[in-house]
């Protein structure tokens, strides 16, 4: 267990960890761990909670052996709460094409005020162990306005020995008043070589290309590789190497992918197509691809003949339709529309 807890401090976070805990007695009671998604902020928050609750920390880390560490690891520590997105009841409604969108339980999109109110007893009654209490809110940007105001009220008169750790990759969306109550700890994307080395050690084959597909975020890359997401990226984009694109065939191909792979959602599909467009725009402007380095030659061939304005326009329109990808009125129509936009975007420039 010791290794389990200690390994949560990732190599690219060690400096931040050490400087934050250099004077642990003066650790601020409200922290905001801010930075891009998929780089390990949640693990950092969890390790910090463990450190604050541990009854005999060693080397400024949780010992992993005491009773408190054991309770935390088994999810039973009475002085710890984690507020996160709860899973909504499945909606049970079927998309227009039948199976595609049926019976997938959707995670909630908001942290609601009741979840924050439920903390009040925990916060104001006192510690079970006469020690610290820790609340993690992750992702903090998912709090709706009422929830954010409710936690703000708590932070205005923070009870002694309670630590709030907010985790957010969209921290600019947080209420400014809430942000100003927290000490911000800013995380960046780790150096590619360090992240790739870590991925290799974690058993991820083709670490560099996985890392590129995940935009440089190593934990996202690991998760993607565990879910076979790289394969699904390859599958989604397979018919797009040959021009001209046939929108109806492409839409049918995507529909088949969605049916065959229960982990694949319409949002992931749109996200993948966005990455493809983003890389076409980059390569068209003589930069190297950011995500699809493993398909560099195919991307270069299409980008070389493409019209930059058409590519840009399509990329911008995808940002708009992405919002409807979660609950499309008709999945097949959505896919056909998406495919048609892509076909127009990569029509070779004849000027
Ligand atoms: Zn311990």
Using one digit for the tens of pLDDT, what is the confidence trace for 248-266? Answer: 999 999 999 999 888 888 9
Given a cut of 90, whether residue 246 has pLDDT beyond it is yes
Of the segments 16-30, 168-182, 228-242, which one has the largest average pLDDT value?
A: 168-182
Q: What pLDDT, on the 0 to 100 scale, is given for residue 284?
A: 94
Distance 216 CA to ligand 1 centre (A): 33
Helix (H) or strand (E) holding 137: strand 133-137
With beta carbons less than 8 A apart as the criterion, state whether 39 and 198 touch. Answer: no
Given a cut of 60, whether residue 93 has pLDDT beyond it is no
How far apart, in Å, do the first and last CA atoms of the chain sit?
64
Given a cut of 70, whether residue 92 has pLDDT beyond it is no
Q: What is the pLDDT of residues 221-239, one digit of tens each?
A: 999 888 877 778 888 999 9
Distance 23 CA to ligand 1 centre (A): 19
Distance 2 CA to ligand 1 centre (A): 9
Given a cut of 80, whether residue 69 has pLDDT beyond it is yes
Query: What burial letters (b/e) apply to 57-83, b meaning 16+ CB within 10 Å?
Result: beeebbbbebebbebbbeeebebbbbb
Q: Which CATH class for the 227-345 domain?
A: mainly alpha
With beta carbons less than 8 A apart as the criterion, state whether 143 and 151 touch. Answer: yes
Distance 61 CA to ligand 1 centre (A): 8
Distance 49 CA to ligand 1 centre (A): 11
Calculate what percentage of the chain has a pLDDT beyond 90.
66
pLDDT confidence tier of residue 323, bands split at 50, 70 and 90: confident
Given a cut of 80, whether residue 180 has pLDDT beyond it is yes
More confident residue, 326 or 89: 326
Given a cut of 80, whether residue 100 has pLDDT beyond it is no
Q: What pLDDT, on the 0 to 100 scale, is given for residue 98?
A: 41
Distance 67 CA to ligand 1 centre (A): 7
Q: What is the pLDDT of residues 114-139, one digit of tens each?
A: 999 999 888 887 777 768 999 999 99
Distance 50 CA to ligand 1 centre (A): 7
Distance 51 CA to ligand 1 centre (A): 7
Sign of CA dihedral 186, 288, 272, 209: negative
Distance 41 CA to ligand 1 centre (A): 21
Distance 75 CA to ligand 1 centre (A): 14
Q: What is the pLDDT of residues 272-287, one digit of tens each?
A: 999 999 999 999 999 9
Helix (H) or strand (E) holding 297: helix 296-305
Distance 222 CA to ligand 1 centre (A): 28
Distance 54 CA to ligand 1 centre (A): 4
User: Which among 134, 135, 133, 139 is positioned nearest to 167, based on CA atoms?
Assistant: 139
Distance 52 CA to ligand 1 centre (A): 9
Distance 11 CA to ligand 1 centre (A): 21
Average pLDDT rounded to a whole number, residues 303-329: 90
**Averaged confidence pLDDT in the chain:** 88
Q: What pLDDT, on the 0 to 100 scale, is given for residue 1?
A: 40
- The angle subtended at Cα 262 by Cα 199 and Cα 169, nearest 5°, is 50
Distance 118 CA to ligand 1 centre (A): 27
Residue-wise DSSP of 145-204: HHHHHHHHHHHHSPPTTEEEEEEES-GGGS-HHHHHHSEEEE--PPPHHHHHHHHHHTT-
Instruction: Look up the CATH architecture of domain 2-186.
Output: 3-Layer(aba) Sandwich (3.40)
pLDDT confidence tier of residue 6, bands split at 50, 70 and 90: very low
Note residues around ion ligand 1 (Cβ under 5 angstroms).
54, 62-63, 66, 69
Residues 6+ apart with CB under 8 A from 246: 239, 343
Average pLDDT rounded to a whole number, residues 68-82: 92
Q: What pLDDT, on the 0 to 100 scale, is given for residue 42?
A: 95
Distance 65 CA to ligand 1 centre (A): 5
Q: What pLDDT, on the 0 to 100 scale, is given for residue 308?
A: 93
Distance 58 CA to ligand 1 centre (A): 8
Given a cut of 70, whether residue 105 has pLDDT beyond it is no
Ordered by start, the domain boundaries in the chain are: 2-186, 227-345
Q: What pLDDT, on the 0 to 100 scale, is given for residue 8?
A: 67
Max CA pair span of the chain: 75
Distance 60 CA to ligand 1 centre (A): 11
Average pLDDT rounded to a whole number, residues 35-60: 94
Q: Which two tokens stand for residue 10?
A: 């990732």
Distance 62 CA to ligand 1 centre (A): 5
- Average the pLDDT over each of 73-77, 79-83, 173-177 and give the range with the smallest value: 73-77
Average pLDDT rounded to a whole number, residues 289-293: 89
Distance 167 CA to ligand 1 centre (A): 23
Pair type for strands 30-34 and 162-168? parallel
Distance 53 CA to ligand 1 centre (A): 7
Q: What pLDDT, on the 0 to 100 scale, is given for residue 252?
A: 95
* ipTM score above 0.90: yes
DSSP state of 101: G
Distance 57 CA to ligand 1 centre (A): 6
Average pLDDT rounded to a whole number, residues 77-103: 63
Number of H helices, E strands in the chain: 17, 5
């Amino acid at each position: 267990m010791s290794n389990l807890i200690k390994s949560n401090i990732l190599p690219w976070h060690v400096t931040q960890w050490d400087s934050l805990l250099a004077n642990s007695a003066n650790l601020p009671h409200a922290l905001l761990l801010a930075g891009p998604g998929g780089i390990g902020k949640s693990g950092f928050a969890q390790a910090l909670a463990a450190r604050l609750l541990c009854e005999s920390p060693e080397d400024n880390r949780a010992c992993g052996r005491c009773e408190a560490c054991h309770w935390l690891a088994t999810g039973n520590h009475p002085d710890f709460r984690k507020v996160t997105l709860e899973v909504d009841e499945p909606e049970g409604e079927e998309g227009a094409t039948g199976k595609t969108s049926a019976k997938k339980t959707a995670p909630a999109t908001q942290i609601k005020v009741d979840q924050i109110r439920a903390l009040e007893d925990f916060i104001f009654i006192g510690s079970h162990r006469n020690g610290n209490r820790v609340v993690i809110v992750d992702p903090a940007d998912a709090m709706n306005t009422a929830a954010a105001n409710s936690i703000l009220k708590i932070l205005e008169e923070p009870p002694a020995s309670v630590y709030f750790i907010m985790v957010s990759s969209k921290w600019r969306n947080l209420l400014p008043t809430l942000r100003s109550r927290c000490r911000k700890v800013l995380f960046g994307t780790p150096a590619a070589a360090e992240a790739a080395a870590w991925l290799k050690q974690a058993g991820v084959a083709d670490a560099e290309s996985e890392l590129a597909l995940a935009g440089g975020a190593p934990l996202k890359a690991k998760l993607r590789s565990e879910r076979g997401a790289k394969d699904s990226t390859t599958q989604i984009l397979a018919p797009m190497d040959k021009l001209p694109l046939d929108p109806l065939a492409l839409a049918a191909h995507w529909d088949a992918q969605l049916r065959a792979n229960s982990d694949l959602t319409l949002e992931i599909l749109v996200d993948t197509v966005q990455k493809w467009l983003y890389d076409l725009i980059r390569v068209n402007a003589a930069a190297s691809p950011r995500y699809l380095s493993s398909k560099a030659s195919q991307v270069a061939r299409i980008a070389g003949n493409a019209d930059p304005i058409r590519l840009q326009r399509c990329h911008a329109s995808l940002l708009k339709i992405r919002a409807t990808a979660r609950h499309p009125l008709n999945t097949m129509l959505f896919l056909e529309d998406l495919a048609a936009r892509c076909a127009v975007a990569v029509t070779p420039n004849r000027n």
